[in-house]
Amino acid sequence: MNQENRIPMTPVWGHEDNSRIPYWAYTQEEVYKKELEKFFYEKHWCYVGLEAEIPEPGDFKRTAIGERSVIMVRGEEGEIYVVENRCAHRGMRFCREKHGKTKSFTCPYHQWNYTLEGELQGVPFRRGVKQDGQVRGGMPKDFKPSEHGLNKLRVAERGGVVFASFDHEIESLEDFLGPTILKYFDRMFNGRKLKILGYNKQRIPGNWKLMQENIKDPYHAGLLHTWFVTFGLWRADNRSELRMDDHFRHAAMVSTRGDGSKNADTTNISSFKESMKLHDPSFLDIEDEDWWGGPTAVMMTLFPNLVLQQNVNSVTTRHIQPTGIDSFDFVWTHFGFDDDTPEMTERRLRQANLFGPAGFVSADDGEVIEFSHEGIEQNDREQALAVLGGRTVEEADHMVSEACIRGMYDYWRKVMGV
Amino acid sequence: MNAENYLKLVQFYQDYAAAVDQEDWDAWLNMFTDDAKYKVQSRENYDRDLPMAVLNMYSKNMLKDRVYGMTETIFHEPYHQCHVVASPRVISASGGEIEAQANYSVFRTKTDGIAEVYNVGRYIDRIQVTDQGFKLASRLCVFDNEMVLNSMIYPI
Ligand code: FES
Ligand SMILES: [Fe+2]
C-alpha cells in the first residue's frame, strides 16, 4: 500500500455534510475504543433491562453495557441497583449465572462478599491468623471496606424500563430522551406492569452502528421485507413520520398500516407479492390496542444501545451489546402487559414469528448487516451514501428519507470530535 | 416397544434429518399432523418456563407458510445443513402415541464456507402412530446455544 492510500492516523470525515459516512467509522479499532468510552461508558443512559425481570428482592440479571458485564439487582427495599460484575479485589468477573436470586454477592476467588447494593461487607482473614499467640498477616489497619465496594452505576427507571450509567455526572433520563422521544416512550411504557414472555438472542457479525442505522432506515423496511410490503404492515405509501430528539441521537419511525393492496407504488417494489396468501392467517390476527393511539408500528432507536419495537401486537426491547468492532450480540426481550388476556398473549407469541433471528421480517436484517460489514471491510477508504430525502437532518412525514441516519452521524461526529 | 417398532422409530428420526438436510420441504411437511406444534426454543426460555421461541408454529398450515417464507420471501445467504441425530430415547409408548427425545447437532455450511457447529440440542417429541406411519404431533427443539449465529432460516 503506498503512502497516499493509507488511512490517516486521525481519521477525517472528508465530506462537508453527513450524507456520506466514511467506512473507517466501522473498521478502525481506535474509533471503536473511543465509541465505547464516549457513548457506552460516559454521559449516556444505557439500557440494562426491565423491572419485571427482577420482581422480588434479591432477584438479579447479568447483562452488559458495551463490553462491560454488569448486574441489575433488586435490593431489600425493592429499589434497583446496577453494579459492575468485576470484583474489587483482583478483578474477577465473579457472577456467572445469567439470572438468579441471592442475599449477597460473593466472589469465589477469595470470597469477598458484597451487599446487593455493591458494598464490601466481608473479607476473609481481614484480621490475619493467630499463630503461636501472634496475629499474622491480614489487611492493613487502615484498610476501609467502604472504599472497596463494587463499581456502582447510576440507575434511572421509567415505566418499568431500567437504564444505567457508569458516569454519575449525567443529565436526567427524561432530558436525555428529550420531549419528542419521551412521548413515544411513555406511549409504550405507560405505567402498566409488564409481563416477560422470553428472550431471543443472536450474534451478528457486523459493527454495532449498522443495527442502529437499520432501525433508523425506513427505506429498506418497505423493500427488503416482503411480508411488510405484501401485507401492508410497513410500506412507502403508509402514513408515517420520522421524529428525532434535538441532538438527533434518538429517533422514532412511526407508521400506520395500510390495507396491503396493489397500487401505483407497489409496482416499484419487486418484493411485493400480489398472489401471496397465508395458509394460516393467524400470523396476522391483529387486534388494535387502545394505547397505540393510531400508529400500528413505532420503532424507536435510543442511542447507543437500545431499540424499542411495537409492530402491531408484538412488543420488544432489543439490546445491542458490542463484542468487538465487527460483532455484537442482539438480545430481544419479548413482553406483554399484566392485563393481557390469554388470547392477547397467544397473539403476541404468534406474531413473534415475524421478528427475531428467524423472523419473516427480521432474519434478513441480520443477514444484510453481516454482508454490509463485509463490503465495508473490503475497502475502508470508501464511504456510504445517505442522501435520500436531502443532505441535512430534518424530520419527515414520509418514509422515503435517510434523515435519521444523517442525524445519528451528526451527533456521533460532535461527540467523537471528527 | 418391541425392537421392530424401535427400528421404525429410528428410521423416522433419520428420515426427518434427511428431509431437512436435502431441503425436501414436502417430505418435511408430510411428517407432521395437521394440528402439529413445531417450536425451536432456547434452553434458557425452556428452563425458565418462558413461552418465547425462535420459531413457534401451531399448525401444519403455519409450517407451509414458513416454507414459503424461507424459500420465497426471506433474503439470506444460501447454506446447507447437516443433522447428526442420536438414537431416540423412548419416554413412553402407549395407544397410538409415542413420547420420545433425541439429541441433535446441526452443522451449517455457507456457500463460501466450511462447516461450523450451528445448533446443538434435543428434540422433545410426541409422535402419532397412524395408517400412514409416524407423524409428529409436536416437535420441540430445545437448543443449548446461548445465541443463534446471526439468523435461522431453515427448520431444525
Ligand atoms: S478476586 Fe474476588 S475475592 Fe479475590
Ligand atoms: Fe428491517
Q: Is the pLDDT of residue A1 over 50?
A: no
* A87 Cα nearest atom in ligand 1: 2
The predicted pLDDT at position A154 comes to 98
Shortest Cα distance, chain B CAs vs residue A393, angstroms: 30
The answer to whether residue B55 neighbours chain A at the CB level (below 8 Å) is yes
Confidence bin at B44 (pLDDT 50/70/90): very high
A159-168, A222-231, A374-383, B90-99 — which is least confidently predicted? A222-231
Residue A2's Cβ-side half-sphere holds a number of Cα atoms within 13 Å equal to: 1
Atom of ligand 1 lying closest to residue A110 CA? 3
What confidence category does residue A230 fall into, taking pLDDT thresholds of 50, 70 and 90? confident
Q: Distance between CA atoms of B130 and B80, rounded to whole angstroms?
A: 31
Q: Which ligand is nearest to the CA of A87?
A: 1
Residue range A338-362, pLDDT digits in tens: 999 999 999 999 999 999 999 999 9
Q: What is the pLDDT of residue A418?
A: 92
Tell me which architecture the domain covering A178-416 has in CATH: Alpha-Beta Complex (3.90)
> How far out from the chain centre does Cα B143 lie?
11
Residue B127: is its pLDDT beyond 90?
Answer: yes
Least-confidence region, from A186-200, A229-243, A308-322, B1-15? A229-243
Which domains are delineated in chain B?
Answer: 3-143 (3.10.450.50)
Smallest CA separation from ligand 1 atom 4, residue:
A110
- Longest Cα–Cα distance of chain A, Å, equals 94
Cell matching residue B25: 420441504
Reported ipTM: the value is: 0.96
Considering only the beta carbons, identify the residue of B64, B68, B151 that sits closest to A202.
Answer: B151
CB contact under 8 A, B76 and A205: no
What does the alpha-carbon distance between residue A391 and residue A364 come to, in Å, rounded to a whole number? 28
User: Does B48 reach chain A within 8 Å, measured CB to CB?
Assistant: yes
Q: How many other C-beta atoms can be found within 10 angstroms of the C-beta atom of residue A168?
A: 8
* Nearest of A314, A356, A312, A366 to residue A335 by alpha carbon: A314
| Ligand 2 centroid from CA B125, angstroms | 33
Is the Cα dihedral A176, A180, A185, A190 positive or negative?
positive
- A&B contacts, CB < 8 Å: 119
Query: CATH classification of A46-156 is 2.102.10.10, yes or no?
Result: yes
pLDDT on residue A5? 57
CA of A69 to the centre of ligand 1 (A): 16
Mutate to test the interface with A, among B146, B151, B153 (most CBs of A within 10 A): B151
The distance in angstroms from the start CA to the end CA of chain A is 25
- Find, among A410, A119, A36, A362, the residue nearest to A251 by Cα: A410
The residue whose grid cell reads 459492575 is A84
- Reported as a pLDDT band with limits 50, 70 and 90, residue B27 is very high
Cell 452521524 sits on residue = A409
Q: What share of residues in chain B are helix, strand, coil (percent, to 5)? A: 30, 45, 30
Q: Does ligand 1 lie within 6 Å of residue A93's CB atom?
A: no
Flag whether pLDDT at A264 surpasses 80. no
**pLDDT score of A7:** 53
Q: Do A203 and A323 touch, CB atoms closer than 8 A?
A: yes
Which residue is listed with cell 435490593? Answer: A75
pLDDT number for residue A258: 81
Whether A101 lines ligand 1, by a CB cut-off of 6 Å, is no
Establish whether residue A109 lines the binding site of ligand 1, counting it when its CB lies within 6 angstroms of any ligand atom: yes
Express each pLDDT in A364-393 by its tens digit.
Answer: 999 999 999 999 999 999 999 999 999 999
Mean pLDDT in residue range B15-19:
98
Across A24-53, average pLDDT: 97
| Residue whose CB lies within 8 A of the most ligand 1 atoms, among A90, A93, A106, for a mutation test | A90
Chain B, 92 to 131: residues with Cβ < 8 Å from chain A are: none
DSSP state of A214: H
CA distances to A62, A100, B77, B156 from B80, rounded to whole Å, are 35, 38, 10, 12
Q: Is the pLDDT of residue A4 over 70?
A: no
Judge residue A246's burial from the number of C-beta atoms within 10 Å of its C-beta, 0-12 exposed, 13-18 middle, 19 or more buried.
exposed
| Binary contact (B52, A271; C-beta < 8 A) | no
Stretch among A256-260, A351-355, A358-362, B139-143 having the lowest mean pLDDT: A256-260
Residues belonging to chain B: 156
Query: What percent of chain B stands above pLDDT 90?
Result: 97
Taking residues A136-157, report their average pLDDT: 96
pTM for the model: 0.96
Indicate which residue's Cα is closest to atom 3 of ligand 1.
Answer: A110
Bridge-based pairing of strands A134-136 and A297-302 is unpaired
Q: Is B24 on the interface with A (CB under 8 A)?
A: no
List chain A domain ranges.
46-156, 178-416
CA-CA-CA-CA torsion for A69, A74, A79, A80, nearest 10 degrees?
Answer: 20
Instruction: Choose the closest CB to A202 out of B72, B77, B150.
Output: B150
pLDDT at position A279: 94
Chain A residue with minimal CA distance to B59? A280
Residue closest to A411 by CA, chosen among A41, A77, A21, A112: A21
> How much is the average pLDDT of A64-88?
98
Predicted pLDDT of residue A411? 98
Give the model's pLDDT for residue A386: 96
Is the pLDDT confidence value at A201 over 70?
Answer: yes
For B91-108, the pLDDT digits (tens) are 999 989 999 999 999 999
Query: Given pLDDT bands bounded at 50, 70 and 90, which one contains residue A234?
Result: confident
Measured distance CA(A78)–CA(B132) in Å, rounded: 58
Q: Which of B147, B153, B154 to mutate to test the interface with A (most CBs of A within 10 A)?
A: B147
